[in-house]
Amino acid sequence: MAGNWFPIAQLTSSGRPIFQPGEVESNLLSSIDIESEENPNFPVFKSGVLILTTHRIIWIDESKNNNSSSSSSTSSASAISIPLGAVTHIFSPKKSIKSMFASPRIRFQVSVSTAGKVEEKGSRSMVITLVFRGSKSDPDTFVTKFWEAWRARSWEVLSSEKSDSNEKNFGSVESSSGLRMAGVSGILRKEQETWESTDKSLQDAFQDLNALMGKAKEMVMLAEKMRLKLLSGPTGQPSTTDEEMGSKQDMQDWLLSVGIASPVTKESAGALYHQQLSRQLADFVKIPLERAGGMTALIDVYCLFNRARGTELISPEDLLQACAIWAKFDVPVMLRKFDSGVMVIQNKSHSDEEVFARIMALVLKPEALRLGVSASDAAMTLGIAPALAKEHLLTAETKGLLCRDVSAEGFRFYINLFKEIDLNDIHLYVTNPVETVWYVIVHIHRLLKLT
């Protein structure tokens, strides 16, 4: 029903809107209704979250968003958008005695198609009213930012850049000097000018801190384009060496950590700061968790997230509160605390049984049966940090799978053979392949010492 009146806004699995290239969040409000007083057939949009960006007004139905099933992604029908390009007029708020006792309202006019759907350059017009139900809403600030975003017309800048790039002929390229160069030489010349412009942008950005902050958005978009180009790779080229592939992967990691295009801030989100920060964090940790095998230490996430946010740093308390809110939302990640107090972020699909199986395969190796397994050994096998590997080993010990030896060299973990002892005859061990291998290795080790 909503799709018949407004364009549908796509959401991430955590309920955050998927922004368009160059789109930045400006303001966020809760408990907002959308009405159309002149149209009796207009559907009901009650008590949603309103996000103002440089390109759109996005309205998210929080009731559908929070109650969505965990097995499926967030329904896109729970979010709609109003392109700022479709807005033709913003009415000034009316000041009257009646308005003092009623919910604040902001009215603006949009262009619609003949079918009544909001779109740019529509043949008809319709007046839309935003009703501010929340007690903490600030209509005056919203109107100011609404006017600024509408007058800036950032969406037109992006559209003009796309149209300019589409109008360029593939076989004929015009250089910055005004000479028109055709064929392969023209393409190569244009590529060289592009990289020279990129190099100049990088040099200007790193002149001082003010220039860096001013060009931060441009640098993030540039880094994303370079990362996508690295991912696609050159076609028709011979296979690269391992060293080149390693350098390429390192470059992708650096570019991936450059920044978040539109970080959630207290200024833009207001009272919904921790809620929206929690959703953005859930989207952000997906890639680090995939690389770390489904579990990452909380301190590592704190460093990665703050590095990606640039100058909009968050405190450890904000991070903890954002992680705690995940229990209320349908997100694929969770906060976990081990018995030792170590806190990690892991996927909900992460299975300890799979980790225990890999640990058991490690401790049953002949060398591990003789010398045991350290946290570093487990870390190399599991592909995680030694601190997390130690927590997994300790958890396996509490399950009765391992036993521990503490010495000056640290912790060493062995296969637990105590549970194989026959309580009816403590001098007789139950014969099994594990014990047989262990006895043979210990016997050989003693013979080597005697010789």
How do residues 264-318 score in pLDDT, each as one tens digit? 877 777 778 888 899 889 988 888 888 887 888 999 999 988 888 877 888 999 9
Report yes or no: 284 and 260 within 8 Å, Cβ to Cβ.
Answer: yes
Report yes or no: 110 and 126 within 8 Å, Cβ to Cβ.
Answer: yes
Specify the pLDDT at position 427. 56
Specify the pLDDT at position 26. 85
Q: Which residues of the chain are modeled with pLDDT < 70? A: 1-3, 64-77, 96-100, 135-136, 158-188, 201-261, 420-451
Specify the pLDDT at position 87. 92
What CATH number has the domain spanning 352-446? 1.10.10.10
Give the burial string for 348-373 (b: 16+ CB within 10 Å, else e).
eebeeeebbeebeebbeeeebbeebb
Specify the pLDDT at position 199. 72
Specify the pLDDT at position 443. 55
Rounded-to-integer distance, Cα 121 and Cα 248, Å? 45
Q: Where in the chain is the domain with CATH 1.10.10.10?
A: 268-347, 352-446
Give residue 292's Cα distance to chain centre: 15
Specify the pLDDT at position 183. 54
- Total residues found in the chain within this entry: 451
Topology of domain 268-347, per CATH? Arc Repressor Mutant, subunit A (1.10.10)
Give residue 205's Cα distance to chain centre: 25
Q: How far apart are the first and last CA of the chain?
A: 86
CATH class of 25-67+76-154: mainly beta
Specify the pLDDT at position 335. 92
Residue 231 gets the label, from left (phi > 0), alpha (psi -120 to 50) or beta, of: alpha
Using a cut of 0.85, tell me whether the model's pTM lies above it. no
Q: Where in the chain is the domain with CATH 2.30.29.30?
A: 25-67+76-154
**Tens-place pLDDT, residues 190-240:** 777 777 777 776 666 655 555 555 556 566 666 666 655 655 555 444 445
Specify the pLDDT at position 341. 86
Rg (CA), the chain: 30
Here the tokens at position 23 are 């789109």
Alpha-carbon distances, residue 255 vs 196, 199, 308 (angstroms): 19, 15, 10
- Indicate the residue type of 432: N
Alpha-carbon distances, residue 111 vs 57, 104, 115, 127 (angstroms): 14, 23, 11, 9
Nearest to 295 by CA among 399, 390, 384: 384
